[in-house]
Structure 1
Amino acid sequence: MPANKKLLVLPGDGIGPEVMREVRRIIDWMDRRRSVSFEIEEGLVGGAALDAEGTPCSDATLARARAADAVLFGSVGGPKWDSLPFDKRPELGILRLRKELGLFANLRPAVVLDPLVEASSLKPDLVRGLDLMIVRESTGGIYFGEPRGVETMPNGKRRGIDTEVYTEDEIARVARVGFDLARKRRGKLTSVEKANVMQSGRLWRAVVGEIGKAEFPDVELEHMYADNCAMQLCSRPKQFDVILGSNLFGDLLSDLAAALTGSLGMLPSATLGAIGADGRRHALYEPVHGSAPDIAGKGIANPCAQMLSFAMLLRWSFGMEEDAALVETAVQSVLAGGLRTADIMQAGMARVGTGVMGEAVVRELDKLAA
């Protein structure tokens, strides 16, 4: 069967290759059982690319990402590369992909699945049924602003500089993504910033308010300081539907939300660009958990976030809602059956490794598709 979906797979470092292998099982299964064939290229990124190519994301890899219908990303980084200069850090690989492909809207769902209610760090009644989405601006803000660096002052002391910069257009385009998602969900958007102490926060609040009033009057808009939002996520998380934040605040709050679900190993994400004139958009999908170098190579990593990231890819890049739902249902069914990786282990459950969890999901897919 000819391939009809072009994917670039970038496993990266740490546990990235291990969890990506389990997604490849699902892709093979879809080829056999769902008559969906993918044209797959695999490339290097992060520390693996540094070792082989001398750069965390080569021009060739970037060109392949531009040509792909979607990019499935693993993770980057690890202690092996901690001593490198800043401009050689493995993490610059994902930052370059986001910036060069215009991937400005990072979508991070935080959903507490019924089988994992007890795995949350909060009381079950606070998180049971939790389903929120964090929309993080991902090509601007303090991670990209200039000037930046470390300089030596006249007195010989060093000073570190990072600059938080946002334009009105950068805020407006990600705000529209957040409002549109809220409109399709439960109709509430919480926009977070620090308008009380940051000039960029004042602009953020003003622009989001203007977009909401002019274009999304049917969506309830709430403004909230980022630190208060962090506190509210820990005390009353179910009040939120869609949370919109800058690159920095979205990064911090999405990791906090991950703790509510029981494990970073359960959370997928999508990072989307603008829809072009031809109807296509660049998009990259990755788990939230990072490279987890402390458990890399041990066969104990949780592959669920990587598999659920693939489900997001099917839904957002290819419109394959039924197939995306199959993957999500299979993961939840395996968890309901009592299998757990170490990060989500609970009393009375069966502890398994990465490969067994992946095999179980594929077996569940067979049952669901029968």
Structure 2
Amino acid sequence: MSDRCTVVILPGDGIGPEVTAEAVAVLALLSDRFGLDLVFDEQRFGGAAIDGDGEPLPPATLAACRAADAILLGAVGGPEWDGAKERPEQGLLKLRTELGLFANLRPARIIPGLEIFSPLRPEIATGADVLVVRELTGGIYFGEKTLGDDAASDLCSYSRAEVERIAHVAFRAAQKRRGKLTSVDKANVLATSKLWRRTVEDVARGYPDVALDHLYVDAAAMALVTHPTRFDVILTENMFGDILSDEMSVIAGSIGLMASASTGSGGPALFEPIHGSAPDIAGRDIANPAGTMASAALLLDHLGHGAAATLLDRAIEAALVEGCRTGDLGGTTGCAAFGARVCAIIDEQISATYRREKVQISA
């Protein structure tokens, strides 16, 4: 990787352009302060691309994404494309396939000082810190589909190789966290889950330092709201992961806080908040950009800029704890104002560090 890093920006639809604007602003700030030499390349994607180019993933956008070091996405979709030949979401599924982004990582934790925003009692929610590793390019979302007037079907299929590669991602993540992995399936009913469980157990033999257990998906859904601290890393298939990670985001207080990363075996990774395009609040400067900014922190860490990523994460949390909160968290701060406050905190922290270092050198 060269010193210069190209980040493709896909604002998308609805609140996507608003929240990505704040994430790009903080990335530009950190690039300047840390000398990261980030270059931003904005491309049309989703519904905006359907309107402008006739398809949700235009060839020029795909080519730019292939050539990038990382991709930051806002959100796609909206009612104006209901009934269209192609929907915005099809562009996202195609992008994942074209770039081989088979692993979706969705972290969620209760931020100390914000326990009050969880719908769970503080004694249940406090200390929850979970990473969902979701298989992203297989399963029922990508299987053959039939639709008639009286019957329909969606094929769910997985190969051993698909399960093995996502399992390795999850086990390696658990090694860097607290050393526990919970594999979620429905092996008492589904053939794909039976294969999933057998394969995960085989992969586990190569990771003796990680404790593995299994839960059926319905039991896992219940445990997330009754005992979320029992989990460290959750490994699961595409649809189960989609549902469980959305449930987990609410436990943390708001879906607007949650980030995600989609990675593969090589090439650029994709970073995006897990929320949708929220067309009902688009253009009103009330969306929560924290999830997109947290996704930018994951992007920085992926590119090898760990110090900048940590600083950004801490600035987001500091802004929230001091009371700078958008409407989803009961506050009155606007989207742009939240982004500006995070940038200000970063500059304050950098200045404080510089002053401390200067004093130490003088001494």
> Shared fold (TM-score greater than 0.5)?
yes
Give, in angstroms, the shift of residue 13 of structure 1: 0.3
Contact 1:102/1:282 (<8 A) preserved: no
C-alpha distance in structure 2 between counterparts of 1:301 and 1:135, whole Å: 26
Alignment of 1:1-370 (within 5 A): 4-85=4-85, 88-146=86-144, 148-151=145-148, 157-213=149-205, 215-275=206-266, 281-316=267-302, 318-345=303-330, 351-370=332-351
Corresponding residue number in structure 1 for 2:357: none
For residues 56-112 of structure 1, give each alpha carbon's deviation from its aligned partner in whole angstroms, at most 9, with x where no partner exists: 111221111110000101100011111224xx0110111111111000000000111
Letter in 1 for 2:127: G
Letter in 2 for 1:204: W
Letter in 2 for 1:230: A
Give, in angstroms, the shift of residue 201 of structure 1: 0.6
Letter in 2 for 1:24: V
C-alpha distance in structure 1 between counterparts of 2:186 and 2:64, whole Å: 38
C-alpha distance in structure 1 between counterparts of 2:208 and 2:27, whole Å: 41
C-alpha distance in structure 2 between counterparts of 1:358 and 1:308, whole Å: 11
Q: Give the SS at the match of 1:195.
A: coil
Letter in 2 for 1:71: I
For residues 268-298 of structure 1, give each alpha carbon's deviation from its aligned partner in whole angstroms, at most 9, with x where no partner exists: 00000114xxxxx320000011111111111
Contact 1:106/1:270 (<8 A) preserved: yes
Q: Which shifted more, 329-338 or 241-250?
A: 329-338
Letter in 1 for 2:202: E
User: If the length of structure 2 is used for normalisation, what is the TM-score?
Assistant: 0.94
4+ runs of 1 displaced by more than 6 Å?
Answer: none
Letter in 1 for 2:118: S
The change in CA–CA distance for 1:32 and 1:319 in structure 2 (over 3 A counts) is: closer
C-alpha distance in structure 1 between counterparts of 2:138 and 2:16, whole Å: 26
Give, in angstroms, the shift of residue 115 of structure 1: 2.7
C-alpha distance in structure 2 between counterparts of 1:14 and 1:123, whole Å: 33
For residues 108-148 of structure 1, give each alpha carbon's deviation from its aligned partner in whole angstroms, at most 9, with x where no partner exists: 001111132100111111111211100000011111012x0
Contact 2:297/2:312 (<8 A) preserved: yes
Q: Give the SS at the match of 2:265.
A: coil
C-alpha distance in structure 1 between counterparts of 2:128 and 2:189, whole Å: 31
For residues 130-175 of structure 1, give each alpha carbon's deviation from its aligned partner in whole angstroms, at most 9, with x where no partner exists: 11100000011111012x0312xxxxx4212111010000000000
Corresponding residue number in structure 2 for 1:154: none
Q: Give the SS at the match of 1:91.
A: helix
Contact 1:30/1:37 (<8 A) preserved: no
Contact 1:115/1:332 (<8 A) preserved: no
Letter in 2 for 1:314: L
For residues 212-267 of structure 1, give each alpha carbon's deviation from its aligned partner in whole angstroms, at most 9, with x where no partner exists: 02x11221111110111000001000000000010000000000000100000000
User: If the length of structure 1 is used for normalisation, what is the TM-score?
Assistant: 0.93
Give, in angstroms, the shift of residue 3 of structure 1: 7.2
C-alpha distance in structure 2 between counterparts of 1:72 and 1:53, whole Å: 20
Contact 1:3/1:39 (<8 A) preserved: no
Letter in 2 for 1:255: D
Contact 1:267/1:308 (<8 A) preserved: yes
Give, in angstroms, the shift of residue 27 of structure 1: 2.3
Give, in angstroms, the shift of residue 338 of structure 1: 1.0
C-alpha distance in structure 2 between counterparts of 1:28 and 1:6, whole Å: 12
Contact 2:27/2:296 (<8 A) preserved: no
Give, in angstroms, the shift of residue 309 of structure 1: 0.1
Residues matched between the structures, number: 350
Give, in angstroms, the shift of residue 30 of structure 1: 2.1
Letter in 2 for 1:6: T
C-alpha distance in structure 2 between counterparts of 1:284 and 1:57, whole Å: 14
Please report the RMSD computed on the Cα atoms of aligned residues, expressed in angstroms: 1.2
Identity of aligned residues (%): 46
